[in-house]
Amino acid sequence: MTALCVPGRMAKSALHWLAAVLLFAAVASQAVADEPIVVRLDQATLFKLPDRAATVVIGNPLIADITIQSGGIAIVTGKGYGGTNVVVMDRGGVVLSEKAIVVTSPSDHVVYVYRGPSRTTYSCNPDCSARVNLGDDPDVFEKILAETVSRTTQAMSAGANTVGR
């Protein structure tokens, strides 16, 4: 067996370095654990639930929604801009995990058109079409939403009529 013996001032220096490395490792691991779940509005992302997860609580369901899948997978969907959190507990109510959720705006192929104080959002992939987006002019928002709902209802009705033929 080999022993390492460092005399005097060098021993203190080595201990300081060791303490600094351990402190850095602890802070770095905490920073990784504290990274928020970032999801874009109207999109979803996955994250792994801790073992023994029994209860999952979303802070503000107007900001984000969460769906639990088998295998300990959670799907977070961005519902509104802003931040909230998710708390995961075991059967005894012990908090296993708490993470921040940040919902950001879509970035791919989105164009915002401002007319004075009002805004309209377009999805341009490949052609530009108006889309329902939080914060848009209320008249445009309601019109596009009504068109979207009408189209979806018609598509679902047409699909229901063709099943089993």
| Tens of pLDDT, residue by residue, the chain (165 residues) | 444 444 555 455 655 565 655 556 554 444 445 799 999 988 999 999 999 999 999 999 999 999 999 999 999 999 999 999 999 999 999 999 999 999 998 777 889 999 999 999 998 888 998 888 888 999 999 999 999 899 889 998 887 776 565
Per-residue pLDDT at 79: 92
3.40.50.300, 2.60.40.1080, 3.55.40.20, 3.30.200.20: which CATH number matches 37-104? 2.60.40.1080
Every domain range in the chain assigned CATH 2.60.40.1080: 37-104
Closest CA to 100 of 31, 25, 53: 31
Yes or no: say if 122 and 137 are a contact pair by the CB < 8 Å rule: no
Residue 77 near residue 44 (C-beta atoms within 8 A): yes
